[in-house]
Amino acid sequence: MSWAVEIEPGLWQGEWPRTPDDVAPWATLVNCCAECPDPAVPGKVWITVPMVDDGQWAPDPVLLTAVVRMVRAAPAPVLVHCGMGRSRSTAVLVAILRDRHRDWDAATAITCVRRVNPEANPNPALWAAVTAWSPPAD
């Protein structure tokens, strides 16, 4: 794997893990990249969120809620990735962080991500989706 950064304990962001060796450190992998297949590695928890980074498509609130619920139940460490680790994975991380830290808004969550990944920058459609989304009550 070219790079991955720890956002907070047990929660990581990175680019697409291309080989089984790239997958080895993670118990759970959240693939936010529609065009990047998961490497066939047994014994891992795979959460696939096929997102397109075209600046127009954005996940609906039901999808974001389903993803954060799955991540809650998944073993750590968790790698949230997309093709380059900048836009789609950042949007999903903002939702995960807002779920973990109920007093955080999207701006606070992205500041947390950008402390360790200054290139984190969800496209406008993704940003609008995670800004409008609210964590589930449960």
Domain of 45, CATH number, reads 3.90.190.10
Assess if residue 49 is contained within a domain: yes
Quick: pLDDT tens for 26-81. Answer: 999 999 998 888 777 889 999 999 898 898 888 999 999 999 999 999 999 999 99
* Structure token pair of residue 5: 């950064």
Report how far residue 57's alpha carbon sits from residue 117's, in angstroms, rounded to the nearest whole number: 23
Assess if residue 138 is contained within a domain: no
Percent of the chain whose predicted confidence (pLDDT) is above 70? 99
Residue 2's pLDDT is what?
61
| Burial class of residue 74, CB neighbours in 10 A (0-12, 13-18, 19+) | middle
Assess if residue 81 is contained within a domain: yes
Among the ranges given (43-57, 75-89, 110-124), the one the predictor scored with the smallest mean pLDDT: 43-57
Report how far residue 8's alpha carbon sits from residue 10's, in angstroms, rounded to the nearest whole number: 6
Residue 19's pLDDT is what?
84
Q: What spatial distance separates the first Cα and last Cα of the chain, rounded to whole Å?
A: 35
Structural domain containing residue 121: 4-132
Residue 4's pLDDT is what?
92
Residue 1's pLDDT is what?
44
Query: Residue 92: how many CB atoms within 10 A of its CB?
Result: 28
For the chain, what is the domain count? 1
